[in-house]
Amino acid sequence: MTEETQDQFRIKYGGIRLLTMGEIKLAQSAFASTIDYSKVWIHRDSYLPFNLQNRNAAMTPNGEIYFRDHYRDDFSQSTDYMQHMFIHEMSHVWQRERGMNIICRGLVSWLVSYRYTLDGRLLSEYPMEQQAQIIADNFILQTFSYEIWSHLENQKYPDITLDGDISETVIRAGYRAALRGFPW
C-alpha cells in the first residue's frame, strides 16, 4: 500500500471510513461472500451520545462498527487480539444481514455472558454475543494457531471465552460441530 493510499484510511476521532482491502480479505476468511463488504463503515467515534460508549468497547448496532480507543487504520495489519475483536464485530454485521435485531439484543449485551460451551449445538442455537465469540474464537484457532488461541484464553481478562475441556482435539471438533454449514 502506498503512503498516499494509506493516508485515505487514517482518520481522526469522529471520522468514518470503509473497510480496507486487507480487512475485506480478513473478513472473507470467516464469512466468505455472505456480507456486502462495500456497505460496512468503520467509525472512529462513540456510537452513544456524549461519548458514553466505553473507550475499550466496540459497538456494531446498525451494520457499522464503532471503535474508540481500539480503532486501527487497518485491522488486517494488527495483532491477533485486535483481529479477534474485528471478527467479533464483523459477526454482528453478519448477524444483522441475516435478520437479527442487533440494536434490541445489544441493549442488554452488557448484562449477558460472552462465555459458552461447545456442547453439540449449532451456532444458530447460541445467543447473539456467544455466536460472535464462537466465530471470533474459531477464527483465531484456524488463522493463527492453538498456541495463540490458548494464550488469548489464558489472560486475566480473556478474549477467548470457551468453558470446558480446552484440549486442542476437543475444541477443534467442537468448533467444527457448532459451525457446520457456516457461513450460511
Residue 87 buriedness (CB in 10 A; 0-12 / 13-18 / 19+): buried
How far the first Cα of the chain sits from its last, in Å, is 32
Residue 89 annotated as catalytic:
yes
Residue from 3, 4, 23, 89 carrying the catalytic annotation:
89
φ/ψ (deg, to 5) at 27: -65, -40
Taking the model in full, what pTM does it have?
A: 0.92
Nearest to 39 by CA among 23, 63, 61, 71: 63
Q: What is the pLDDT of residues 67-80, one digit of tens each?
A: 999 999 999 999 99
Structural domain boundaries of the chain? 3-178
pLDDT of residue 8: 56
Q: What is the pLDDT of residues 117-142, one digit of tens each?
A: 999 999 999 999 999 999 999 999 99
